[in-house]
Amino acid sequence: MIQDREIPNPEFQQQVQRLHQLSVSSRWLLVMASWLTLGVLAIWGLREEIELWREYFTWSAVRFGLAYNRLSAIALGFCVGLTTAVLLWQSRNILFGLPPKEKYRLEQQVRRIREEGSSHPLWKWVCKQ
C-alpha cells in the first residue's frame, strides 16, 4: 500500500497542504454553523433557566435545567462535543504532525483530484494556482 508511492514533488506537497488546510477550514465552518444554529436554538430553549441561573446560580439548578430541557441539552452537548473534537484533532496535528495514514489519505485524494481535473469540485482550491 505505502511501498509503491513515488517521491512527490514540492508542488504536489503544496497541494496536499492546501487540501489539509481546506479540511481544517471546513471543520471549523461546521463548528461555527452548529453553534449558530443548534447552539442558538438550545440557548433560546434555556432562556428561562438562564434567567434563573443569573439570579441564583447553583450547579444543581444547571443540572435540573438541562435535565428538564433535554433537546437543548443534547444540542449543547453536540456543539461542545464537536468543538472539543476539532480542537483535539487540530492540536494533535500541530503538536505531532499528520499521522502517516492521514497523510497517505490526503495524498491519494490529491491524486484523484488531479486525475479528474477541473471537473472536480475541489480542483480550483487545491490544484489551481
Global confidence as pTM: 0.83
Reading the block at residue 105, the C-alpha cell is 489519505
Q: Which element (helix H / strand E) includes 74?
A: helix 70-96
Each residue's pLDDT expressed in tens, for the chain with a length of 129 residues:
454 555 668 888 999 999 999 999 999 999 999 999 999 999 999 999 999 999 988 999 999 999 999 999 999 999 999 999 999 999 999 999 999 999 999 999 999 999 988 888 988 888 876
Cβ atoms of residues 72 and 42 within 8 Å: yes
Domain ranges of the chain: 12-126
Q: What is the DSSP letter of 120?
A: S
